[in-house]
Amino acid sequence: MKVFGITGWKNSGKTGLMERLVAHFTAKGLRVSTLKHTHHGVDLERPGTDTHRHREAGAQEVVLASSARVSILHELRDTDEPRLADLIARLAPCDLVLVEGFKSAPHPKIEAHRATTGEPLLAPHNQTVLAVASDCPLPDIDLPIFDLDDTASIAAFIENATDMASRSKTKLANDCFALPPGVIWTPVDEALSTLRKRLKPIAGTERIPVADASDRILAADHVAARSNPPGANAAVDGYAFAYEGLPAGDIVHMPLVKGRAAAGAPFSGNVPLGQAIRILTGALLPDGVDTVVMQEDVQIDGSRLSFPAGLKPGANARAAGEDMVAGQRALPAGHKMRAPDVALLSALGLSDTVVHTRLRVGVMSTGDELAEPGTTLDAARTYDANRPMLLSLAKRWGYTPVDLGHVADDRDTLRRALDDAAKTADVILTSGGASAGDEDHVSALLAEAGSLHHWRVAIKPGRPLALAQWNGTPVFGLPGNPVAALVTTLIFARPALSLLAGGNWLERQSFQLPAAFSKTKKAGRREYLRARLTEDGHVEVFKSEGSGRISSLSWATGLVELPDDALDITPGTLVRFLPYSGFDLA
């Protein structure tokens, strides 16, 4: 979440400016929340209302809820006024928090100013004020000055200052999609290593609560704020003592101290050497105590504990920081968060994460023959299968899918569609029209823009591929054929999108398994077959290799990858199986 503030004296026009900015940013599709500071002790509701009466009677938090909105009033009473950061942490995730007031908090701000207030500017004395929005000229000030009513310019300044403008505008090198020169058919591995070397994150960053961070990509290393466990504690229910004070003998007898240590309720007293205390799992070990005997192994007789000798020093105890120590790197930048990572960061005392904004993946279909599923009975029309497939993949992979619709085979229409797409998406996936034929307008247009790299990759299925940038936005021109579109998306676009999103390069996962089929494969290109596992753990392939067979994609549970070299496969030959789950498809 980006945070930006409006400050200024009373009657300086703060609230009007806030109002116009909220309207401006929400109209652009951003989710905006606001926070306003008001004067000491002001009551937030009318005396005599029902909820006011609840509060007066002593309630700590009062929630007033209707079908339209919810308000929470939290009485501070004798606790300290929360810091701005704590208040922001209570907000639901949004794109931008606009803060009114809080002039001493460290967030960046604009000062609103009106001549009529007669007050001197805060700006010269407040380093966090980055600009002034004023209704009168202001000489002698070394900051940008905006007209108080010029909302658009002020908004643009805020976008820049909060880096929102750069959400998708990190530029890739012009030649990022250039394949090695002089090679007619580039091997798959070389094409992949080109993508891996040249692509870099283009997604912006934002701060969100750890609890919301599952499937998001960390934009920074995350370091333990405290150790886990924070203090030495018991790993079992039992009795704790100092090992050093254990009496001799085959059966150990020890007096029990009065009291007990439980998780969250430590024992504050002293456990003398040679004595033991009742302890429960997770309880902090009392001072001096280092060893725990399990309750299943002891006998209790009044206040005397007995158990067989042979326990090791430190048995059944967890050392402070044995899992992770405060300051240690818990997760690196580029890591994609999963539920276990949410647990880890929470245990280490982090409430917020810095993550990449979700990559906006635009998906466009091209072709005069295409129609929306179910809209026509004309046999000359093909229902658009790629767009819903690619949009659902983008969503599944944690990106924001942007439906760019279906564009006819017309160069001007396509040009306009790409212009718009480059503004709304961080990366564009097109399908169809990517070869070099008469109706292949995607590649023709991209070539016109000068950034096309026609990818002649030695792969089947998967030709043609056109990689380019349109006004700086990367474009993956995928083949129209749905089988080829899926294979190239899984093999090339998936790891590439991950890098663009700020994540790691994703290797394809595979297993060597015995084939349940026969095939003679020629040398020279890599092949992907639609495949699935038989009940006895062999790999079978779809009955037809026809690339128009969409049913084969759905029949399969993965792909078989056949190497670039020639291969004679008979039942039992080991082949490489790439399960759909390894591509995060299922």
State both tokens at 258. 């009065």
Which one of 51-59, 384-392, 447-455, 574-582 is the stretch in contact with ligand AMP (CB under 6 A)?
384-392
Closest to ligand AMP by CB, 373 or 537: 373
Binding partner of 97, given Mg ion, ligand AMP, none, CB within 5-8 angstroms per partner class: none
Backbone φ/ψ region at 367: left (φ over 0), alpha (ψ -120 to 50), beta: left
Binding partner of 382, given ligand AMP, Mg ion, none, CB within 5-8 angstroms per partner class: ligand AMP
Closest to Mg ion by CB, 440 or 527: 440
Binding residue (CB under 6 A) for ligand AMP from 95, 111, 341, 384 = 384
The reply to whether 433 sits near Mg ion by the rule CB under 5 A is yes
| Contact between 505 and 481 (Cβ < 8 Å) | no
| Contact between 541 and 533 (Cβ < 8 Å) | no
3-state class (DSSP) for residue 222? strand
The reply to whether 128 sits near ligand AMP by the rule CB under 6 A is no
| Contact between 334 and 503 (Cβ < 8 Å) | yes
Chain residues 321-380 in contact with ligand AMP, contact rule CB under 6 A:
365, 367, 369-370
Nearest approach in angstroms of CB 370 to ligand AMP is: 5
Closest to Mg ion by CB, 238 or 432: 432
Nearest approach in angstroms of CB 409 to Mg ion is: 6
The reply to whether 432 sits near Mg ion by the rule CB under 5 A is yes
Closest to ligand AMP by CB, 275 or 365: 365
**Cα–Cα nearest to 404, from 415, 383, 420, 389:** 420
Torsion on CA atoms 290, 294, 298, 302, rounded to nearest 10: 70
CA 387 from chain centre, in angstroms, equals: 23
| Contact between 129 and 111 (Cβ < 8 Å) | yes
Question: What is the contact mask toward Mg ion in residues 378 to 417, using x (rule: CB under 5 A)?
Answer: ----------------------------------------
**Cα–Cα nearest to 21, from 123, 191, 164, 214:** 164
Binding partner of 469, given Mg ion, ligand AMP, none, CB within 5-8 angstroms per partner class: none
Task: Report the DSSP pairing between strands 304-308 and 222-223.
Answer: unpaired
Chain residues 471-530 in contact with Mg ion, contact rule CB under 5 A:
480
Nearest approach in angstroms of CB 482 to Mg ion is: 12
Residue 10 is given by DSSP the state T
Residue facing Mg ion at closest CB distance: 367
Chain residues 462-481 in contact with Mg ion, contact rule CB under 5 A:
480
> Distance between CA 497 and CA 509 in Å, rounded?
17
Closest to ligand AMP by CB, 246 or 390: 390
- Residues 6 or more apart whose Cβ sits within 8 Å of residue 358: 203, 216, 398, 399, 400, 501
Binding partner of 164, given Mg ion, ligand AMP, none, CB within 5-8 angstroms per partner class: none
Nearest approach in angstroms of CB 206 to ligand AMP is: 33
Question: What is the contact mask toward ligand AMP in residues 432 to 461, using x (rule: CB under 6 A)?
Answer: xxx---------------------------
Binding partner of 33, given Mg ion, ligand AMP, none, CB within 5-8 angstroms per partner class: none
Which one of 16-24, 46-54, 274-282, 428-436 is the stretch in contact with ligand AMP (CB under 6 A)?
428-436
Question: What is the contact mask toward ligand AMP in residues 89 to 108, using x (rule: CB under 6 A)?
Answer: --------------------
> Distance between CA 291 and CA 317 in Å, rounded?
6
Nearest approach in angstroms of CB 379 to Mg ion is: 17
Binding partner of 316, given ligand AMP, Mg ion, none, CB within 5-8 angstroms per partner class: none
Please report the DSSP string for 499-537 in residue order: HHTT----PPP-EEEEBSS-EEE-SSSEEEEEEEE-TTS
State both tokens at 112. 């609103």
Distances from the Cα of 461 to the Cα of 154, 184, 200, 410, 519, angstroms: 51, 17, 27, 26, 16
| Contact between 276 and 229 (Cβ < 8 Å) | no
| Interacting residues with ligand AMP (CB under 6 A) | 365, 367, 369-370, 382, 384-387, 431-434, 479-482
| Interacting residues with Mg ion (CB under 5 A) | 367, 432-433, 480
